């Protein structure tokens, strides 16, 4: 009787293992096909969407201190304009998600 018992045990174990694998596959598959909600934002103001300059100006290899100062000053101004636009865009996005200011 014990030999019959051992021959049936692997079949039962395989069935449980197969059921566990199928269940796991279904659970993983169901999670991957669930659509994720997407936030619908209105288009931002055009003034906030101006792209930054590609590169900053370079100081010529042979430049006077005055020329160097002028280039550095222009680059500094460009940096601050871009940083200000970015802060305003971040503020605009935060306002879109703030429930107290919802329209």
pLDDT tens digit string along 5-44?
Answer: 555 556 667 777 777 887 877 777 666 666 666 667 788 8
Q: Categorize the per-residue pLDDT at 48 as very low, low, confident or very high, splitting at 50, 70 and 90.
A: confident
- Alpha-carbon separation of residue 85 from 2, 49, 61, 79, 80 (angstroms): 80, 8, 31, 10, 9
Q: What CA–CA distance (Å, rounded) separates 69 from 75?
A: 10
Summary count for the chain: helices (H), strands (E): 2, 0
Q: What CA–CA distance (Å, rounded) separates 85 from 2?
A: 80
Q: Which pLDDT belongs to residue 75?
A: 92
The residues spanned by each domain of the chain are 1-36, 42-103
**Degrees to nearest 5, angle at CA 51 with 46 and 55:** 160
Q: Categorize the per-residue pLDDT at 77 as very low, low, confident or very high, splitting at 50, 70 and 90.
A: very high
């Amino acid at each position: 009787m014990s030999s019959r018992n051992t021959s049936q045990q692997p079949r039962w174990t395989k069935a449980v293992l197969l059921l566990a694998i199928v269940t796991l596959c279904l659970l993983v598959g169901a999670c991957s096909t669930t659509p994720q909600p997407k936030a619908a934002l209105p288009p931002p103001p055009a003034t906030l969407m101006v792209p930054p300059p590609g590169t900053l100006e370079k100081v010529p290899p042979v430049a006077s201190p005055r020329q160097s100062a002028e280039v550095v000053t222009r680059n500094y101004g460009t940096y601050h304009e871009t940083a200000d636009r970015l802060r305003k865009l971040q503020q605009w996005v935060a306002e879109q998600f703030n429930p107290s200011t919802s329209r």
